[in-house]
Amino acid sequence: MPVDTNSPVAEPVDETQRKARRSDKRDKNAQHRSPQRSNTRRRARADASLERTEASPEEGRAPQDKRPRTLSGSIKRHPFTAGAVLLVVLLVAVGASLWWLNARNYEWTDDAFIDARTVTIGAEIAGRITQVAVTDNQPVQAGAVLLRIDDSDYQASLKQAEASAVAAQAEITNVEAQTEAQNAKIGAAQKQAAQAQAALEFAKSEDQRNRELLAKGTATEQQAQQAASTLRQDQAALDTATANVEAAKSQLAVLQAQGKSAEARLQQARAGEDQARTRLTRTTIVAPVAGRATNITAAKGTYAQPGQVLMMFVPNNVWVKANFKETQLDLMRPGQPVDIAIDAYPEKTFHGRVDSVQAGSGTAFSLLPAENATGNFVKVVQRVPVKIVFDRPPDAYLGPGMSVVPTVRVR
């Protein structure tokens, strides 16, 4: 069949004919091996070439339809699709802008966890444990009994201290009675001294009159000597009475010193009594605050030593310790609201507020703080602990170390 070289299918036909000629050449080269097989292949290729040549005009014009299409032409041919794509792009841009405007108002970190001031429950006295009243992770109220230690020895010590206090009080009472008796003796001695003083004054007057009468010749020598002797006796009696008063007063000072010593022994006995009573109370260990008992190592029958840790106690009062980067603290202030997401409760969101920001980074208070003045220096963004408290006690079990993601609204 003649083929027009100007037709749209001229190029495909020439290519087909070239392929057919190459196949014929290969067949001729292979005739010495299988002539019959070569003839069959040649006829098949000729038939295929004929079928391609007689193809429809639409198939022949297909290569001309593969022209590059412009964007404006595609929009004109598909206006609804282009509008939909443009709308989606605008919505994505608006959403991204709104998200950025909203996200810049918040600061968050995943380097945060629940924190609390755990209490170490230990023995303050030595003794055998007679009762462990709680089990692991049991919630208890403040003042609830946690465990008991054998108190028989401490009961005896308390009774002994009470007896010492009673004896000291009795000694004070005895000294007070002796002091009252001594005061009475002092009073009697003073009265005797006053009586001797009055007799002495009268004896002086008598001696003076007898001297004057003896000088006038109206009194005898014997009367004058008798008056002088009476004066000397009354003077001696006054001196004795005065000495008795001083002796009684000195004895009173001794009794007063004994009274002070008895009071000191009483105070010592009462201090021993208080100490014995305190030791007795330490045989019963109670919960300091409401919380949960955990990590219990005490067991009934175990001998506890002073300072030995028997269990740990986690209070119900917990908060969030969030380690924010120092670049996130520019707008962070105490009192700002916080949304708290806890990994253990993904369906719940807790609310709190910023309580305080630590005065220093975490590494500054570590066991081995960084010393930037030595060796090579590589600047690393530091993290600063921020304390976040709950607005109200959370209605979920929270313990120290649980992971938290707080989001602080800073604008």
In sequence order, what DSSP letters do the residues of 38-99 get, joined into one string?
HHHHHHHHHHHHHHHHT--HHHHTGGGG-PPPPHHHHHHH-HHHHHHHHHHHHHHHHHHHHH
Whole-angstrom distance, CA of residue 188 vs CA of residue 248: 10
Q: Phi, psi at residue 303, to the nearest 5°?
A: -90, 120
pLDDT reported for residue 14: 56
Q: What is the 3-state secondary structure (H, E, C) of 105-146?
A: CEEECCCEEEECCCEEEECCCCEEEEEECCCCCEEECCCCEE
* Selection from 63-77, 227-241, 250-264 with the highest mean pLDDT: 250-264
Residue 321's contacts (CB-CB under 8 Å, 6 or more residues apart) are 112, 113, 114, 115, 385, 386, 387, 388
- Residue closest to 120 by CA, chosen among 288, 314, 312, 315: 312
Would you say residue 65 has pLDDT above 60?
no
Q: Which residues pair with 228 in a beta bridge?
A: none
- CATH code where residue 178 lies: 1.10.287
Residue 26 in any domain: the answer is yes
Residue 2 in any domain: the answer is no
pLDDT band at 305 (very low <50, low <70, confident <90, very high): very high
Say if CB 69 and CB 37 are below 8 A apart. no
Q: Are residues 233 and 194 in the same domain?
A: yes
Q: Are residues 386 and 325 in the same domain?
A: yes
Do you know the residue count of the chain?
411
Whole-angstrom distance, CA of residue 238 vs CA of residue 232: 10
Which has more pLDDT, 247 or 18?
247
Q: Are residues 292 and 143 in the same domain?
A: yes
pLDDT reported for residue 411: 80
pLDDT reported for residue 395: 87
Q: Are residues 164 and 250 in the same domain?
A: yes
Please report where in the chains the tokens 């916080």 appear, as a residue. Answer: 338
pLDDT reported for residue 1: 37
Least confident interval from 7-11, 53-57, 221-225? 7-11
Residue 296 in any domain: the answer is yes
Which has more pLDDT, 295 or 258?
295
Per cent of the chain over pLDDT 90 is 37
Q: Are residues 296 and 203 in the same domain?
A: no
Cross-sheet strand order for the sheet of 127-132: 284-286, 145-149, 127-132, 303-304
Predicted confidence (pLDDT) per residue in 84-95, tens digit? 877 888 888 878
pLDDT reported for residue 405: 95
pLDDT reported for residue 178: 82
Say if CB 296 and CB 134 are below 8 A apart. yes
Whole-angstrom distance, CA of residue 87 vs CA of residue 203: 141
DSSP 8-state symbol, 283: T
**Collapsing DSSP states into helix, strand and coil, what is residue 325?**
strand
Least confident interval from 84-88, 140-144, 317-321? 84-88
Q: Are residues 277 and 158 in the same domain?
A: yes
Q: Which residues pair with 351 in a beta bridge?
A: 339
**Collapsing DSSP states into helix, strand and coil, what is residue 353?**
strand
pLDDT reported for residue 49: 55
Long-range contacts at 81-88 (CB < 8 A, ≥ 24 apart): none
Whole-angstrom distance, CA of residue 386 vs CA of residue 355: 8
pLDDT reported for residue 345: 93
Counting the structural domains of the chain, the total is 5
Record the pTM.
Answer: 0.58
Q: Are residues 268 and 169 in the same domain?
A: yes
Q: Are residues 87 and 125 in the same domain?
A: no
Q: Are residues 277 and 165 in the same domain?
A: yes
Residue 3 in any domain: the answer is no
Which has more pLDDT, 289 or 85?
289
- CATH code where residue 319 lies: 2.40.30.170
DSSP 8-state symbol, 326: G
Whole-angstrom distance, CA of residue 312 vs CA of residue 225: 101
Residue 5 in any domain: the answer is no
Would you say residue 76 has pLDDT above 90?
no
Q: Are residues 269 and 298 in the same domain?
A: no
Residue 392 in any domain: the answer is yes
User: Side chain identity at 312, as an amino acid letter?
Assistant: M
Q: What is the mean pLDDT of the chain?
A: 79
Instruction: Give burial (CB, 10 Å; 0-12/13-18/19+) of 203.
Output: buried
Residue 244 in any domain: the answer is yes
Whole-angstrom distance, CA of residue 304 vs CA of residue 292: 22
| CA distance between the termini of the chain | 85
pLDDT reported for residue 46: 56
Structure tokens at 79: 């206006």
Predicted confidence (pLDDT) per residue in 33-57, tens digit? 554 555 555 565 655 555 555 444 4
Q: Are residues 201 and 92 in the same domain?
A: no
Predicted confidence (pLDDT) per residue in 321-378, tens digit? 999 999 999 989 999 999 999 999 999 999 999 999 999 888 888 888 877 777 788 8
Residue 246 sits in which domain range?
152-281
The per-type count for the chain, helices as H runs and strands as E runs, is: 7, 15
Predicted confidence (pLDDT) per residue in 159-203, tens digit? 999 998 899 888 888 888 887 777 777 777 777 777 777 776 776
Say if CB 320 and CB 340 are below 8 A apart. yes
Q: Are residues 47 and 163 in the same domain?
A: no
Whole-angstrom distance, CA of residue 147 vs CA of residue 129: 7
Long-range contacts at 193-198 (CB < 8 A, ≥ 24 apart): 193/238, 193/241, 193/242, 193/244, 193/245, 194/241, 195/241, 196/234, 196/237, 196/238, 196/240, 196/241, 196/242, 197/238, 197/241
pLDDT band at 12 (very low <50, low <70, confident <90, very high): very low
Residue 402 in any domain: the answer is yes
pLDDT reported for residue 192: 72
Residue 393's contacts (CB-CB under 8 Å, 6 or more residues apart) are 316
